[in-house]
């Protein structure tokens, strides 16, 4: 099968993730939001799950972060994801939903239980962005068996996708736009 055959972006992304499974960096995506002053802020998040049927990418976060505050004020986000091995880039415009234990307790419990011990510790160090005592090591305080109330999932529902494959000459690029439950795909000049 040709890499340039039109595919729904979720199918392409699953192939990219599978091809990059031995490269830890392939699980990191860049997510941009706008802060309260309207300035873009970009950060790296760990990909956790893809719901191919709904076109939703999931990550986890801390409700006490500026990122969560930004998404509460403006649910729009942009994801950029580059896979070095396959030389593919995905840029997604998304509408984000913050999922808490109040919304979906079983889902949050499952997400927490799938976290590594080191990942869980990050949620138990204290409030992100507060002053750190330089002489003291960070210490996880709390029960690691149960998700803390500030642990949440972020559901990024893609509304449009700009896919670029840099292999070959010419490269291949396409736009995909959500139209109700279908995706419109247009190949464009890179």
Within a domain: 64:
yes
| Percent of the chain whose pLDDT exceeds 90 | 87
Asked if 59 and 50 count as a contact pair (C-beta separation under 8 A), the reply is: no
Within a domain: 76:
yes
Within a domain: 136:
no
Is the backbone of residue 7 left (phi > 0), alpha (psi -120 to 50) or beta?
A: beta
CATH of the domain at 31: 2.30.110.10
Within a domain: 43:
yes
Residues with pLDDT less than 50, the chain: 1-3, 5
pLDDT digits (tens, 9 = 90+) for 139-165: 899 999 999 999 999 999 999 999 999
The rounded distance, in Å, linking the Cα atoms of 82 and 84 is: 6
Asked if 32 and 42 count as a contact pair (C-beta separation under 8 A), the reply is: yes
Three-state SS for the chain is CCCCCCCCHHHHHHHHHHHCCCCHHHHEEEEEEECCCCCEEEEEEECCEEECCCCEEEEEEECCCHHHHHHHHCCEEEEEEEECCCCEEEEEEEEEEEECCCCCHHHHHHHHHCCCHHHHHHCCCCCCCCCCCCCCCCCCCCCCCCCCCCEEEEEEEEEEEEEEECCCCCCEEEEEEEECCEEEEEEECC
Within a domain: 123:
no
Boundaries of domain holding 169: 9-106+151-188
pLDDT, position 135:
80
pLDDT, position 6:
55
pLDDT, position 181:
79
Query: Which candidate, 78, 91, 89, places its Cα nearest to that of 156?
Result: 78
Query: Which candidate, 108, 100, 107, places its Cα nearest to that of 71?
Result: 100
pLDDT, position 86:
94
Query: Which candidate, 163, 159, 162, places its Cα nearest to that of 182?
Result: 159
Within a domain: 62:
yes
pLDDT, position 134:
85
* Residue listed under structure tokens 């149960």: 146
What is the number of domains present in the chain? 1
pLDDT, position 1:
37
């Amino acid at each position: 099968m040709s890499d340039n055959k039109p595919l729904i972006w979720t199918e392409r992304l699953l192939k990219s993730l599978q091809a990059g499974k031995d490269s830890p960096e392939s699980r990191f995506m860049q997510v941009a939001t706008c802060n309260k002053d309207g300035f873009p802020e970009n950060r790296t998040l760990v990909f956790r799950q893809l719901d191919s049927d709904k076109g939703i990418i999931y990550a986890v976060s801390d409700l006490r972060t500026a990122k969560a505050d930004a998404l509460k004020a403006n649910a729009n986000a942009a994801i950029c994801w580059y896979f070095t091995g396959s030389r593919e880039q995905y840029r997604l415009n998304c509408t984000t939903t913050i999922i808490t234990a109040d919304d979906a307790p079983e889902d949050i419990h499952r997400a927490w239980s799938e976290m590594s011990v080191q990942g869980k510790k990050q949620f138990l160090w204290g409030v992100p962005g507060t002053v750190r005592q330089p002489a003291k090591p960070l210490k996880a305080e709390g029960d690691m068996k149960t998700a803390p109330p500030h642990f949440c999932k972020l559901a990024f529902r893609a509304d449009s996708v700009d896919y670029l494959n840099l292999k070959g000459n010419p490269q291949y690029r396409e736009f995909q736009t959500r139209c109700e439950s279908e995706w419109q795909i247009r190949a464009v000049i890179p």
